[in-house]
Structure 1
Amino acid sequence: MLDGARRRLRRLRRRARALERRRSRDARHWLAETSNLTHVSVLLFVPLLIGFVTLLSNELQVLSFLLFPPLASGTYTLFADPEGRYANPWTFVGGMSLGAFCGWVAIELTALLTGPSASAGVATPGGLWEVHAWAAALAIFLAGALTWVLDLELPSAFSTALLVLLTDPGRFVSVAGITVSTSVVYVATVALSASVVAGVFAVWRHEFYERRARYLYSTTQADDHVLVPMRGETGDATAMFGARVAAAHDAGKVVLLDVVDDDAIAAAERRLLEEGETAAVEDADSVAETAEDVRERAERSAADEAAAELERCAARIETRVGVPCEVVVAVESDITVTSLLDAARDTNCDLVVTPLERDPDGTPTRFLRDLFRSDIDAIAFDSKTERTDWKRVMVPVRAAGQLAHAMVDYGQRLAGKVGTVSVCTCIGDERSRRTAESMLANLTETSDARCETRVSRASLDEFIERNESHYDLVVFGAHDYGSRFAVSQAFEWADETETDAAVVHTR
């Protein structure tokens, strides 16, 4: 009874851990989309920064609440579009400060032109504050002209230029023993608060946003230990492909895996029996081996032959690519996904690169379908040429996300610093072009390779057919490895191309 309870408890724990891993993976994939990341950053940093400035205002008793509307909108502009036109810390601080300064100048000029007793604003009997029309017009004119000339254009600058007019220039406060007008205090606090926000934004963008591939996209820092099962006639080409992927990282290595099946053992056994019969004729005193002895020797002989062949392939890879290679030989009837994953864990590999194999009807084999549903990153490589180097890579994508970033990352690894990665997408109408261009820009801005982006009105099939001849490799993505249709569609596209193709799966 206790044993049964323990087993049920262990099963519940395994399910809970699996559910936690799945939720963590889903959350990481969701954050991998740049739009989701920026929205989360807005929800996190804008309230915290405004709250901090408010706390500072309550403590110092010199910050006007009129500061917060332009500061909040400007902070949103920074974090919502970190690569946009206004996402420059110097422009943010300079624009807001210059706008407030222009408003203060408008106050002083209005008082000078309309008389010493007049100012930019007056209090009405009802307690409301009326702003002089000429002061407002002058503040906006100065803000627009100076921010344009000094290249500090910022929407929030016009807000600070107007809001400073609501301060009372005739009221003075003491700051650090110095008596100054509240209008001057407003200008100074705008500059100070904007500097705090800009500093936080600059650190966030440099340390996290521009390096988000390191934290959110698992393939950019992982997938440097590559396991290559030597299956089919294109095993050597696939091994070279996997080596190119691994060589992009300093810690990269390739593990070549081969299986000694029953056919290989039977061939070795026949050879040993023939050799044994010849030896028996020559030596009448020799003792006949048992069937078990012959079988054991045949397994060792077949394994030695397979290991020797793998060693020769590993030597070629190390010579041409310069990445360390290991060889593993297993004695099994056939390699399964379960045994492959066990080998990956034993050799500390986090990426499987396997030849793209199909059944007679053209669909991917059961082995590939199971591999693409497993919890390991995988690439199915379809070698159609004798190419061993891929410098021009096409990456057609549908949408941003973890898979799209992985496809671009693999393309970058293969192209290197001298190659080109072309990230493409297809749209149905021109209204989708700006969104598509923005999506492609988000995908490529984290890449160190030479990238180009292309948006086409043609269907994906037509686009690939017209352009594949200009590339060495086309990288496809299995967008939903839980759906057989999606996986089969990616393999179908790979089958229709005449150049080398790769189908990518990420966990």
Structure 2
Amino acid sequence: MLDSVRYRYHSIRRRVRRVERREVRDLRSWLEDTENLLHLTALVIVPFLIGVVTWLSNVSPIVSFLVYPPLASGAYTLFADPEGRYSSPRKFVGGMTAGAICGWIALEVSARFWYPTTPEQFHVHAGAAALGIFLTGVATWGLSLEEPTAFSTALLVLVTGAERLTYVGGIVVSSLLIAGVFLLWRRNVYHERARYLFRSTQSDDQILVPIRDDTDESVVLFAARLASAHDAGKIVLMRTVRSETIEETAAALEATDGEAITEDREESSEPVTELAEERLTEEQLQDLERLQDRITSVVDVPCEFVVAVEDESAGETVLSTAKAENCDLIVCGYETEEEDPSPFVRTILNGNTDAVVFRSSNGRTEWERILVMVRTSGELANAMLDFAHRLIPGDGTVSACTCVSQQRDRRMAEITLENLIESFPNPIETRVATGSVEKFLERNTSLYDLAVIGASTDRGAVSRFVSTPTFERIQAVDCDLAIVHRG
């Protein structure tokens, strides 16, 4: 009974761990989209900071409760758009402080020259409000401290009554606190999000390359350059042998060397099959070793070999071998049947393992100008840009492009590209084109060595049925093509 309870306990524990790992992966994938990360940050950090300021106002007379409105809106502006025009700690602190001081000056001037008495709390003279906004605009413009919340602090000082100095001091203290937290977050978290969140920068090191009869050498060198970009990178060259081939070889051996085999081995059927497997494996390994020599002469990357029996479809055999060999990326050549992707390619692009299907145009083995076509920000776009940076030499260039159907969508596309490229240390050119992806590639691929596009497997089945994946609609381009799938 105790054994049964113990088994059930460990079974439930393993199941819970699998669920936890899956949820962590899903959350990490969700956070790879910069917009999602910024929204989550604004929802978590801004309320926390306002809570801290509230606590300070309760325990110290320095911080007035009137600083809450400009601080809340200003903090949200910082964390929701950390690279925007108003997301500067200097502008945040200086602009809010300048606004508060300008409002104080406007109140003193209006009380001395326009109005016989100082207005009571929560009662503001129109002239003082107009003068405060005018002075704030002049001061922030002249000092390059333009900040929307500066105008809010300028107006709120008009209702502080006798607590004007306390209000200005509270603005300085609380804005410095929020600006300091923002600076640390932007430098150590936001700018380093690729290291913490992007799966492609921490994985895709062990690359499985299935070598088929028509596999081009450029496919293998493409995989080798991807692997060599990481210290732990290596490639696993794979050959498959069909079970029918093993049976035919065993039959041929038995027909020609049957007596010798019977003398050396105790049984007659299984040992012949084993000998056939050994001979076929040796032949495949010799081919792989020759290919390894060619790879290492160009790229310094470790190579391993694996020969698998193909009992099922070729694609399923590759996927199961990738799992067995602990490979996190598959790189294979592009194959067609009647101008459509072959069943092998479709199986690889629908598997649970990351994959890149490489379509060579002229046998190129180095890529210095790479075009990355992105549809939206997120895990797939990050992976494609990361692959591009792993391929190019030091003086190479990477361009990120997205296509929009209408001109009014251009601004949002530019913001998407800007958020996308910020996480990469190397410079990336951005382009926004109006029209279809196919037309853009037909016009511009001659300017590049490689174009990287998504396999559209992140879209739903209905979406893919209504709109055929882009790579299937591309008939001919003047550069190599890499089709990326995230498993």
* Aligned 8 A contact 2:316 2:347 in 1: no
Q: In the alignment, is residue 137 of structure 1 matched against residue 130 of structure 2?
A: yes
Worse-matched range after superposition: 248-257 or 262-271: 262-271
Q: 1:95-146 CA deviation, whole Å, 9 max, x = no partner?
A: 111111222233344455469xx56x322xxxx6433444333322221112
Structure 2 partner of 1:323: 301
Distance between the aligned counterparts of 1:152 and 1:501, measured in 2? 47
Q: 1:477 aligns with which of 439, 444, 454?
A: 454
Please give the residue correspondences for 1:94-173 in structure 2 after superposition, counting only pairs within 5 Å. Answer: 94-113=94-113, 121-123=118-120, 129-169=122-162
**Does the C-alpha gap of structure 1 residues 288 and 246 become closer, same or farther in structure 2, counting only changes over 3 Å?**
closer
**Does the C-alpha gap of structure 1 residues 144 and 198 become closer, same or farther in structure 2, counting only changes over 3 Å?**
same
Q: Read off the aligned partner of 1:378 and give its amino acid letter.
A: A
Structure 2 partner of 1:408: 385
RMSD: 3.4
Distance between the aligned counterparts of 2:335 and 2:462, measured in 1? 16
* Aligned 8 A contact 1:424 1:454 in 2: yes
Structure 2 partner of 1:363: 340
Structure 1 partner of 2:416: 439
Percent of paired sites with the same residue = 46
**Does the C-alpha gap of structure 1 residues 194 and 392 become closer, same or farther in structure 2, counting only changes over 3 Å?**
same
How many Å apart are 1:42 and its aligned residue?
1.4
* Aligned 8 A contact 1:32 1:402 in 2: yes
Q: 1:220-254 CA deviation, whole Å, 9 max, x = no partner?
A: 22112211111231253222111111122222111
Worse-matched range after superposition: 29-38 or 260-269: 260-269
Q: 1:398 aligns with which of 372, 375, 384?
A: 375
Q: Read off the aligned partner of 1:43 and give its amino acid letter.
A: L
Worse-matched range after superposition: 26-35 or 379-388: 26-35
Please give the residue correspondences for 1:17-28 in structure 2 after superposition, counting only pairs within 5 Å. Answer: 22-28=22-28
SS of the equivalent of 1:330 reads strand
TM-score (norm: length of structure 1):
0.84
Q: Read off the aligned partner of 2:198 and give its amino acid letter.
A: Y
How many Å apart are 1:191 and its aligned residue?
0.7
SS of the equivalent of 1:52 reads helix
Please give the residue correspondences for 1:250-399 in structure 2 after superposition, counting only pairs within 5 Å. Answer: 250-262=231-243, 265=246, 293-333=271-311, 336-358=314-336, 360-399=337-376
Distance between the aligned counterparts of 1:267 and 1:237, measured in 2? 32
Structure 2 partner of 1:211: 192
TM-score (norm: length of structure 2):
0.87
* Aligned 8 A contact 1:415 1:449 in 2: no
How many Å apart are 1:7 and its aligned residue?
11
Q: Read off the aligned partner of 1:147 and give its amino acid letter.
A: T
How many Å apart are 1:425 and its aligned residue?
1.5
**Does the C-alpha gap of structure 1 residues 468 and 4 become closer, same or farther in structure 2, counting only changes over 3 Å?**
farther
Between the two proteins, the alignment pairs up a number of residues equal to 481
Q: In the alignment, is residue 497 of structure 1 matched against residue 477 of structure 2?
A: yes
Distance between the aligned counterparts of 1:353 and 1:69, measured in 2? 54
Distance between the aligned counterparts of 2:305 and 2:47, measured in 1? 55
How many Å apart are 1:376 and its aligned residue?
1.6
Structure 1 partner of 2:46: 46
Uncovered stretches (5+) of structure 1, i.e. residues with no partner: 170-181, 281-285
Q: Read off the aligned partner of 2:48 and give its amino acid letter.
A: L
SS of the equivalent of 1:381 reads strand
**Does the C-alpha gap of structure 1 residues 66 and 5 become closer, same or farther in structure 2, counting only changes over 3 Å?**
closer
Structure 2 partner of 1:172: none
**Does the C-alpha gap of structure 1 residues 311 and 484 become closer, same or farther in structure 2, counting only changes over 3 Å?**
farther
SS of the equivalent of 2:119 reads strand
* Aligned 8 A contact 1:476 1:494 in 2: no
How many Å apart are 1:446 and its aligned residue?
1.5
Distance between the aligned counterparts of 2:478 and 2:245, measured in 1? 33
SS of the equivalent of 1:384 reads coil
SS of the equivalent of 2:399 reads strand
Distance between the aligned counterparts of 2:103 and 2:335, measured in 1? 71
**Does the C-alpha gap of structure 1 residues 36 and 275 become closer, same or farther in structure 2, counting only changes over 3 Å?**
same
Distance between the aligned counterparts of 1:94 and 1:428, measured in 2? 42
Structure 1 partner of 2:203: 222
How many Å apart are 1:156 and its aligned residue?
0.7
Distance between the aligned counterparts of 1:83 and 1:288, measured in 2? 75
Uncovered stretches (5+) of structure 2, i.e. residues with no partner: none
Q: Read off the aligned partner of 1:255 and give its amino acid letter.
A: V
